[in-house]
Amino acid sequence: MSAAALLELQDISLSFKGVRAISDISFAVAEGEICALIGPNGAGKSSLLNVINGVYQPQQGLIRFAGRECRAMRPHDAALGGIARTFQNIALFKGMSVLDNVLTGRNLKRRAGWLEQALRLGRAPGEDDRQREAAEQVLAFLRIQPWRDAIVGRLPYGLQKRVELARALAAEPRLLLLDEPMAGMNAEEKAQMSRFILDINREFGTTVVLIEHDIGVVMSLSDHVVVLDYGRKVGDGPPDEVRRNPEVIAAYLGTRH
């Protein structure tokens, strides 16, 4: 395991009502890399993300994030520690505007209390300006300023995916978990989204763990690939190495393209 691992999972097992979703999975994600989780449907990829940021509590195993070790994360602690994520089926706040959605991503950066804000006293007005500034930067980065005031639920799918990424990015995360960020997109949109992910990784040094089905995208985007099958890990390494691993080919890729 590399010394500079930001995230390390050790022997994680998770089951629902006796059904094993993940068995004894261990891997490490180095600081600053893009790590892809691949595997057939039902392999436990999303469950694993849910374990990393505390939506699910595993029955067994250890999680080490940024030098802190615990048996299970809690969503709030994960967010405090700097983990942000997007979801497979977009989990935006549908009744709110794009700007408000992105601003929710910054709620941990606030210091003014709620009463201070309601009475518009003390730190609140200045802080409002700074939060707005930061949110505007994220909107500009992902090129969604024109839809700033649009209600999210009424936007097309591809844009919603980008807004969700913007909300995660607004939290200035150390680790970004992306659950199928390109699902349902056409080639052009995929290329654009890949570009955004690479830019985030390069410009802010954000470590990224993503789930993706498009092998082409995975191979070109990631520094590190972890392959899951039936809740077990069957491959782990740089893209080229994983591509040649016979067990991976058998379990997942099937015949060579």
Partner 1 sequence: MEFFFEVLIGGLLAGVMYSLVAIGFVLIYKASGVFNFAQGAMVLFAALTFVSLLERGVPFWAAFAVTLALMVALALLIERAVLRPLVNRSPITLFMATLGLSYVIEGAAQALWGAQVHGLELGISDEPLELGGLLLSQFDLFAAATAAVLVIALSLLFNRTRIGLALRAVADDPLAAQAVGVRLQRVWAVVWAVAGFVGLVAGLLWGARLGVQFSLSLVVLKALPVLIIGGFTSVSGAIVGGLLVGASEKLAEVYLGPWIGGGLENWFPYVLALLFLLVRPAGLFGERAIERV
Partner 2 sequence: MLYREAGQFSVRYADDRRFFRLRQGRLGLAALLTFAFLGVPLLGNDYWFSAILIPFLVLSLAGLGLNLLTGYAGQLSLGSAAFMAVGAFATYNFELRLPGLPLLASIVLGGLSAALVAVLFGLPSLRIKGFYLIVSTLAAQFFVQWALTRFGWFSNYNSSGVITAPPLQVAGLDFSSPAGRYLLTLGVVSALFWLGANLARSELGRNWMAVRDMDTAAAVIGIPLLKTKLLAFAISGFFLGVAGALWAFTYLGTVEPHGFDLSRSFQILFIIIIGGLGSILGNFLGAAFIVLFPLLLSNLATLLPAGFIDAGQLENLQKMVFGVLIILFLIKEPEGLARLWQRFRERARLWPLRY
- Helix and strand numbers (H, E) in the chain are 10, 10
255 binds partner 1 (CB under 8 A): no
* CB of 141 vs partner 2, minimal distance in Å: 18
| Torsion angle in degrees (nearest 10) through CA of 200, 192, 104, 92 | -140
18 belongs to the binding site for partner 1 (CB under 8 A) = no
Q: How far apart are CA 173 and CA 84, in angstroms?
A: 6
Measured from the CB atom, is 14 or 34 closer to partner 1?
14
- Does the footprint of partner 2 cover residue 122 (CB under 8 A)? no
**DSSP category for residue 210:** E
List 9, 63, 79, 155, residue binding partner 2 (CB under 8 A): 79
- Residue 117 binds what, of partner 2, partner 1, none (CB under 5 to 8 Å, by partner type)? partner 2
Given the rule CB under 8 A, which of 32-40, 121-129, 139-147, 190-198 is the region that contacts partner 2? 121-129
Q: Tell me the CB-side half-sphere exposure of residue 229, using CA atoms within 13 A.
A: 12
**Binds partner 2 (CB under 8 A): choice among 55, 150, 183, 198:** 55
CB 97 within 8 A of CB 150: yes
Chain residues 49-108 in contact with partner 1, contact rule CB under 8 A: 50, 55, 87-89, 91
For partner 2, the closer CB: 75 or 237: 75
> Residues 119-153, buried b or exposed e (16+ Cβ, 10 A)?
eeeeebeebeeebeebbeebbebbebeebeeeebe
**Phi, psi of 225, deg, nearest 5:** -125, 135
> First and final CA of the chain: distance in angstroms?
31
Q: Between 125 and 184, name the residue whose CB sits nearer to partner 2.
A: 125
Residues forming the site for partner 2 (CB under 8 A)? 53, 55, 75-76, 78-80, 84-85, 87, 91-96, 100, 103-105, 107-108, 110, 114, 117-120, 124-125, 128-129, 132-133, 167-168, 171
Applying CB under 8 A, the residues found at the interface with partner 1 are 16-17, 46, 50, 55, 87-89, 91
